[in-house]
Amino acid sequence: MSKKILIVIIVLVVMLAAGFLIAQSRFEQVERPTSEDSDNGSDGQVAASVRDRQIRDYLVENYGQADFQGRVYCDYDLFGQEEPSDSVTYYLWALCQEYYFDQASELKKGAQVSGPVILETEIVDGHLIIWSHQFFIDDPEGAYARFPEDYHQRLGLETERTSRLERSINNRAEVDLLPGMGK
């Protein structure tokens, strides 16, 4: 490989990394649309918007996939929660989507993952601590066995839910990653 090509590749990699760092520094929470029953007011010490952000961040780190080394965005539809004591179990449907820039600097969608999720949490000093999760990507029987019966009808793929979550994620990604759309 000639020195010119090597220099061009290095410059492109540095520019791409700088672009992602700039986009990440501009990141701010954009409220997601909520389903009609996503907040039943029983969150106790944790405000719903803080809980939403913590759950989305957790899903990005533990559920989303970055097959193209892009940035992952997640959102979810909360089915409900159980609060047996100091712990809170959340039952939800999560959708995570990767976004990356191709060689022509166009924003593209990469890996997507979607499915039922159970999060085991507790509230410590007003902060939601997620200490365990169960993802049921390719295990519908496992989801039916672990989710309360009240949520079984919502465990199937729903076009409306998927479209709503994809719109929410796409809006946040465009604001974050496309010049002139973010702050």
Using CA atoms, how far apart are residues 146 and 7, in angstroms rounded to an integer?
A: 54
Q: Is the pTM of this model over 0.85?
A: no
61-108 tens-digit pLDDT: 999 999 999 999 999 999 999 987 778 999 999 999 999 999 998 999
For the chain, the structural domain boundaries read 3-177
DSSP character for 31? P
Residue 139: what are its φ and ψ, rounded to 5°? -140, 70
Could you give the count of Cα atoms lying within 13 Å of 29 in the half-sphere of its Cβ?
14
Give me the pLDDT at residue 5, please. Answer: 80
In tens, the pLDDT along 111-138 reads 999 999 999 999 888 788 999 999 998 8
